[in-house]
Amino acid sequence: MNLKRQPGYFRGWFHAMGSPCEVLMETEDHGLAQALLRTVTQEARRIEAKFSRYRKDNIVYQINHESHKQAICVDAETARLLNYAQECYELSEGLFDISAGTLSNVWHFDSSDRVPTREQIRQCLQYVGWEKVHWDNPLIRLPPGTQIDLGGIGKEYAVDHCVQQLRQSTSISCLVNFGGDIAITTGRHKRNAWCVGVENPSTPGQAGNTALKQIRLTQGAVATSGDVRRYVLKNGVRYGHILNPKTGWPETQAPRSITVAAPTCSQAGVLSTLAMLQGEQAESFLSAQQVQYWCLR
């Protein structure tokens, strides 16, 4: 956990959920900034520990490895996330599906050239499909072989949850940014807006990378999806990490990066993810949703 004073605000940062995380706090009070940063850090790590599919000591592991024998009773927070996932599945007509976790057994988005075979994907798809899951709040039971993955909504949920906690603790303006998924508690009091840069997808993380777009954030949230950091590249074709749960493949004609503004980070994240799955139709899809967005191809 690190904290540094900037002109007019404090910037804190740490690493969680596989991403760089930062908190901007419009205050000159070092003690307050330190306390708020500690609140966000602890909450981010709690959510990561609880919902990461890479751990063996949490509710997701229990659901994935034990619920095919006997239904698992989940707590209220997990139930809210599962209800939200089901709502996204229904509204997207199956394009947003947390039961696609099995596909991560054959897709490894590590910048290599390892593309799974069509047979490997076909084998995985037989276990994918939220409609096969028995979810009767608070009981969930998965068919044998099916696994859920909350990675598509977990980070955005964590941002929204941390923002809620900050609102309960302070009236100052704070910005929470977990790997490009961003929300603010309220507009800045001393200046007009927090300025958020949209990274150049051709030179991610490089020194001198100049933001291609600048968003002035006065309320709500923005979330970004893309193939900048997690991808497979083979024979000149770039395969981003967002998979279509119906085909098992990513959409190779999608924009490199999509940023969406919405009242909450969870809403923005789902829309940017679904837009990636529209491929060449991403822009028209987002226009139909009547949201503000920025697509980079």
Q: How far apart are CA 267 and CA 192, in angstroms?
A: 24
| DSSP H or E run through 63 | helix 59-66
Residue 62 pLDDT exceeds 90 = yes
191-242 pLDDT, tens per residue?
679 999 887 777 666 655 567 788 999 999 999 998 877 888 888 888 888 9
Q: How far apart are CA 11 and CA 39, in angstroms?
A: 14
Question: Residue 286 is encoded by which pair of tokens?
Answer: 């987002």
| pLDDT confidence of residue 211 | 76
What Cα–Cα distance (Å) separates residue 196 from each residue in 94, 110, 203, 255, 267?
32, 27, 17, 19, 18
Give the predicted TM-score (pTM) of the model: 0.92
Q: Select from 135, 104, 138, 52 the least CA-distant residue to 232.
A: 104
